Amino acid sequence: MKRTEIKDALQMQEFDKEINVKGWVRNKRGSKNVAFIALNDGSTINNLQLVIDLNVIPEENLALMHTGASISATGNLVKSAGSGQSVEMNVTNIELIGAADPEKYPLQPKKHSLEFLREIAHLRFRTNTFSAIMRLRHAMVFGIHKFFNDRGFYNIHTPLITASDCEGAGEMFQVTTLDLNNLPKTEEGKIDFTQDFFGKATNLTVSGQLEGELAATAMGKIYTFGPTFRAENSNTSRHLAEFWMIEPEMAFYDINDNMDLAEDMLKFLIQYALDNCMDDLQFLSKRLQEEEKNKKAEEKSMELIEKLHFILENPFQRLTYTEAIDILKNSNYNKKGKFQYPVTGWGVDLQSEHERYLVEKHFKRPVILTDYPMEIKAFYMKQNEDGKTVRAMDVLFPGIGEIIGGSERETDLNKLLKRMDEVGIPQESMEWYLDTRRFGSVPHSGYGLGFERLMLFITGMGNIRDVIAFPRTPKNCEY
């Protein structure tokens, strides 16, 4: 018999025909005459309840069907008498596919801490929390492609191995086939990369933007969506060494067009999650409330679904870095010394505590900060007339801080060359990039959305290691 997925079984209205389901046992309980198995197959957060009449199916047949075992069950759907589910299955035939030794299987039908689950990340797909997150992750990937495709953007695959450092922060993983125990040296005693695989030093990309600009200045509107790698040694709940980034790049867009697109995109994605993933969101909302139940009222997060609606209903607050510094500097928070990094004056880079203060305490909505000091931003950003700020735009979200970083790009070849020189980027390595400014240069803009930061927001999870299947962080690379 053809297998029916549990998601479809739970929607069914016909009760007179037998169907077959397959999945993993979440829980088994029973009495003298009847046993109940909660079955999950990953197609939905919801389990199908199997009802087994022990007068028809001998109890020995169920002996190995413990939590974690895989089984196949055939029977009729009936309207459920119990609360919380619409239908259940009266089983006529049940078979074990793969046993799971209850003495050894680490996931039991009880609450496990997220820390514990991170240690058995190879099995955490089997939990409600993690499978809900993974289904939402899928929906967001799909929603992102839909958003851009519907608006005439082309998806471009930019390289993962590169010889350039887009952000200029020097946080790159090197890629080499040289024998680290026996490195070839030049006459000056430096490593001789001409003998390396690519004949030069290479690294994993920190961003697809520079290559994206090449495509955008010919194809109009493009986006990249790929893994990015940063060897920054920050062990925080918002940093990964390998994360996914969405980078649209648009010819003829100025910074305002760029901000409009970013705001539209984030709202579209939130709406997409609400429209397509309500079961998983409701589950995650309950999870969060449970996790925070002992917190004081003022420390509790806004209810997850309400929070998502809140973003949809409020325009993002747009202001300049200079205005933000004034607000922060004069805030009671700053005066009372509540910031770990006090805001002393113009020019400092904002810490996530500052970003979150603006969003959560001051404006109480997402914020887009623009026109940052040139010194703290990447070389490619368009310089303002004041000679000290650039047309950057960072989108700041509640609970997250920076979720998007972007800018209008510098189009003036001479300004770009001067800036590259100041920050020490050798011109000869970037001639290919500079050609976009030499031939038919146009105003253009783009930004990068950190996919896992978006997932943190959508799922209400607190640690970025819990919204990616196989997190890579300092001193941690399993699987």
Interface residue with ligand 4AD, options 23, 398, 399, 446 (CB under 6 A): 446
> 80 or 473, CB closer to ligand 4AD?
473
Interface residue with ligand 4AD, options 135, 307, 377, 453 (CB under 6 A): 453
> 196 or 355, CB closer to ligand 4AD?
355
CB of 465: closest distance to Mg ion in angstroms? 20
CB of 378: closest distance to Mg ion in angstroms? 8
In this structure, are residues 161 and 155 in contact, taking their beta carbons and an 8 Å threshold? no
CB of 394: closest distance to Mg ion in angstroms? 6
The Cα–Cα gap between 8 and 77 comes to 12
Other CB atoms closer than 10 Å to residue 179's CB: what's the count? 8
How many alpha carbons fall within 13 Å on the CB side of residue 179?
A: 4
Q: Which does 398 bind (CB under 5 to 8 A by kind): ligand 4AD, Mg ion, none?
A: none
Output the DSSP codes for 141-172: HHHHHHHHHHTT-EE----SEES--SS-S---
Q: Which does 448 bind (CB under 5 to 8 A by kind): Mg ion, ligand 4AD, none?
A: ligand 4AD
Q: Give every strand in the sheet of 161-162, ordered side by side.
A: 161-162, 202-204, 174-175
> 384 or 463, CB closer to ligand 4AD?
463
Among the residue ranges 67-75, 97-105, 344-352, 450-458, the one whose residues contact ligand 4AD (CB under 6 A) = 450-458
E strands, 129-286, are 154-155, 161-162, 174-175, 202-204, 221-229, 242-251
> 232 or 323, CB closer to ligand 4AD?
232
CB of 409: closest distance to ligand 4AD in angstroms? 8
Does 452 bind ligand 4AD (CB under 6 A)? Our answer is yes
Other CB atoms closer than 10 Å to residue 329's CB: what's the count? 15
Q: Which does 239 bind (CB under 5 to 8 A by kind): Mg ion, ligand 4AD, none?
A: ligand 4AD
Assigned token pair, 457: 């927001």
152-211: which residues touch ligand 4AD (CB under 6 A)? 166-167, 207, 209
Binding mask 375-414 for Mg ion (x = CB under 5 A): ------------------------------x---------
Pairing, β 444-450 against β 401-408: antiparallel
Does 230 bind ligand 4AD (CB under 6 A)? Our answer is yes
Contacts of 419 (CB under 8 A, 6+ apart): 374, 379, 383, 410
> 217 or 334, CB closer to ligand 4AD?
217
The Cα–Cα gap between 426 and 119 comes to 44
> 399 or 405, CB closer to Mg ion?
405
Pairing, β 18-30 against β 34-40: antiparallel
CB of 134: closest distance to ligand 4AD in angstroms? 18
Question: In 67-207, where does DSSP find H-type helix?
Answer: 114-119, 128-150
CB of 316: closest distance to ligand 4AD in angstroms? 14
Among the residue ranges 253-261, 280-288, 358-366, 448-456, the one whose residues contact ligand 4AD (CB under 6 A) = 448-456
Does 447 bind ligand 4AD (CB under 6 A)? Our answer is yes
Looking at residue 426, the DSSP 8-state letter turns out to be -
In this structure, are residues 147 and 163 in contact, taking their beta carbons and an 8 Å threshold? no
Pairing, β 87-98 against β 48-53: parallel
> 307 or 382, CB closer to Mg ion?
382
CB of 405: closest distance to Mg ion in angstroms? 3
In this structure, are residues 65 and 73 in contact, taking their beta carbons and an 8 Å threshold? no
Interface residue with ligand 4AD, options 38, 204, 240, 455 (CB under 6 A): 240
**Which residue is associated with the tokens 């996530």?**
352
CA angle 254, 260, 266 (to 5 degrees): 135
Q: How many residues bind ligand 4AD (CB under 6 A)?
A: 22
In this structure, are residues 81 and 51 in contact, taking their beta carbons and an 8 Å threshold? no
Does 254 bind ligand 4AD (CB under 6 A)? Our answer is no
Binding mask 365-404 for ligand 4AD (x = CB under 6 A): -------------------------------------xxx
CB of 459: closest distance to ligand 4AD in angstroms? 15
> 366 or 405, CB closer to Mg ion?
405
Does 247 bind ligand 4AD (CB under 6 A)? Our answer is yes
Binding mask 413-432 for Mg ion (x = CB under 5 A): --------------------
In this structure, are residues 19 and 57 in contact, taking their beta carbons and an 8 Å threshold? no
Output the DSSP codes for 286-319: HHHHHHTTTS-GGGSPPPHHHHHHHHHHSPPEEE
The Cα–Cα gap between 70 and 261 comes to 46
Q: Which residues bind Mg ion (CB under 5 A)?
A: 405
Residues within the interface to ligand 4AD (CB under 6 A): 166-167, 207, 209, 230, 232, 239-240, 243, 245, 247, 402-406, 446-448, 450, 452-453
